[in-house]
Amino acid sequence: MAAIAAAGRCGVALGFLIAALSGCAKISTDGTAPPRGQNQWTVPGVLRVGSFEDLDNLNPLVSLQSFVGDVEEMIFSGLVQYDDHGSLVPDAAVAIPTRANGGISADGRTIIYHLRRNIYFSDGSPLTSADVEFTWSQIMNPRNNTPNRVPADEVLSMDTPDERTVVVHLRSPSAPFVGLFLHNGGTPNGAILPKHLLDRYGDLNRIPYNTHPIGSGPFVVTSWEPGSLLLLRANPRYWRGPPRLKEIDYRIIPNQNTLLTAVRSHEVDLYYSAPESQYATLVATHGYRVTKSPGQFLEHVRFNCARPLLRDVRVRRAIAYAIDWQRLVRDVYQNLDVAAMADQRPGSWANDPAVAPYPHDLARAQSLLSSAGWHRGSRGTLEKDGQPLRLTIISVAGATTREKAEQVMQQDLRAAGIDLEIRNYPANEVFATYAGNGILTRGRFDLALVALNVEPDPDDTINFGPDQLPPKGQNRSFYVDPEIGRWQAAARTAYERGERRKYYWMIQQRIHDALPIHGIVWTSTIDAVNADLKNFRPGAPVSDFWNAYAWSI
């Protein structure tokens, strides 16, 4: 990989990441001596971020990656966003619509947003209601390869009576809508796009904007070299005022062990979403503080229920009984996370604590497989009609904890007579859209070890709705259950939590029984942060980058 030089600083060869920056980081970008801090290798005003996932796009309308959502928070604005307490707060909107402030009609079918007057795109054009309406129209544009259209597809029509007012008419009442529609950091469809730059295109799938977008967020894209480096500079027109950081160097280092080396040699200031296996080493690394906050990510095994070998629920249940989930939590995830089963996070009002992981029961697994017609072959692998029970599991290459978890599952399933082959791929291939031939969206897997970014609102239509199979939605288990669809619809139209809760409890039990997924842990978000970085407040249910405008170093 070619060496990359940031203007005014020493070059860094990202392919090796060996040369420490301490020899050149003592001079600030304007040539003056840096202010006194804890670390001599700090570059004042410049934050160097290390990411182990490559980005497939910078236009969140056509991306599924959660890491793109992190970048989106720095480049764009949504109508609303979530803070580090999981509270919904205004972004481009002046206030969160409620019934009390007149933003939600009595029948729950009309939502009114009032936009800020001092919000501009970074090219100087004002952000208006026309941009919100345009963004909605592009989400719904069938020519765009947006991975899903939830909840924009709940909108019957949209009025813009003036530049600062957006009136949304819903097909039916929707309790999750305000928390999901154009919330900054949500992928896809979390950002307000500039109509004046994009309305000339028939679709937004492959346009120059996708590699050099213009947004209204705190930072502006300077350049992007896919697989290598994204350079961002402060946006002087940002509505909250210019960010305190001058520049963010977002570096792609697609191997967590290499990224750990970069931390230990002080080449990055922020290593976010680090694996549990590196936690102790990061804590012991001088010059950093390590944060661990409850996350919204459900680390899980996803079953492709459309695959012939996995259509029989007895096989899926046998796999669940054969895997020692407690061992994974203890030995692989280092007891740093909360054990998981279904998709409602602990502490949520929608979580049913009675829905628990499958116990490790090899005898029961073998009994289920026998009842499904699978019997030991001459080589020890189960066979049926001469076909061996051979499956593949995929995940993101270079993710060290997941690689270890796959090996443990491989051993467990081998004991049950199931041959499990491990095949891992770069993140931008795993999570690519349907049009981009994504491995998950195209169903080119048997089992997948991935994370599900669960929104604060418990509506899970997008992930398990029977009408949300790719390319329309993100039901990438390909499990179709009309009853789940009916329960989801009933929960969306009920505003009272007690009424909604009963439906989510039924859905969780069905997920347990039918096994489109089996959770492993609710991962804690582990970040290693240069001790000189100020105002870093992790814990947001969407992204640790929610307040990047306030960071300073």
Distance CA 221, CA 59 (A): 12
pLDDT digits (tens, 9 = 90+) for 207-260: 999 999 999 999 999 999 999 999 999 999 999 999 999 999 999 999 999 999
Pairing mode, strands 270-271 and 247-252: unpaired
pLDDT (0 to 100) of residue 1: 33
Residue ranges for the chain with pLDDT beneath 70: 1-37, 540
Residue 85, pLDDT score:
87
Distance, first Cα to last Cα, the chain: 29
| Class of residue 18 by CB neighbours under 10 A (exposed 0-12, middle 13-18, buried 19+) | exposed
Cis bond upstream, residue 388 (ω within 30): no
**SS3 category, 16:** coil
Residue-level pLDDT at 455:
85
Q: Does domain 21-269+532-550 have CATH number 3.40.190.10?
A: yes
- Write down the pLDDT at residue 295: 74
Supply the DSSP string of 186-230, one letter for each residue.
-SSS-S---HHHHTT-S--SS-GGGTS---SSSEEEEEEETTTEE
What pLDDT, on a 0 to 100 scale, did the predictor assign at position 464? 97
What integer pLDDT is reported at residue 4 of this predicted model?
Answer: 31
Compute CA distances 399 → 51, 421, 423, 543, whole Å: 11, 17, 12, 19
Q: Which residues pair with 395 in a beta bridge?
A: 424
Tell the CATH superfamily of the 294-524 domain.
Answer: Dipeptide-binding Protein; Domain 3 (3.10.105.10)
CB atoms within 10 A of CB 206: 14
Question: What is the side-by-side strand order in the sheet with 110-114?
Answer: 110-114, 165-170, 155-162
Q: Return the pLDDT at 379.
A: 84
CB neighbours of 208 closer than 8 A, spacing ≥ 6?
none
Residue ranges of the domains in the chain?
A: 21-269+532-550, 294-524
Q: Provide Rg for the chain, Cα atoms.
A: 24
Residue 11's pLDDT is: 34
**Separation of alpha carbons 103 and 335, rounded Å:** 44
d(CA 131, CA 216): 11
- Enter the pTM of the model: 0.84
**Enclosing H/E stretch for 177:** helix 177-180
Q: Rounded distance, CA 20 to CA 40, Å?
A: 12
Cβ neighbourhood burial of 124 (10 Å; 0-12, 13-18, 19+): exposed
Q: What is the pLDDT of residue 26?
A: 32
* Strand ranges inside 467-548, DSSP E: 517-530
Note the pLDDT of residue 28.
Answer: 33
pLDDT of residue 187: 76
- pLDDT for the residue 2: 35
C-beta separation of 525 from 299 below 8 A: no
132 within 8 A of 181, measured Cβ to Cβ: no
Other CB atoms within 10 A of residue 502 CB: 15
Q: Residue ranges of the alpha helices (H) in 346-454?
A: 362-371, 400-415, 427-430
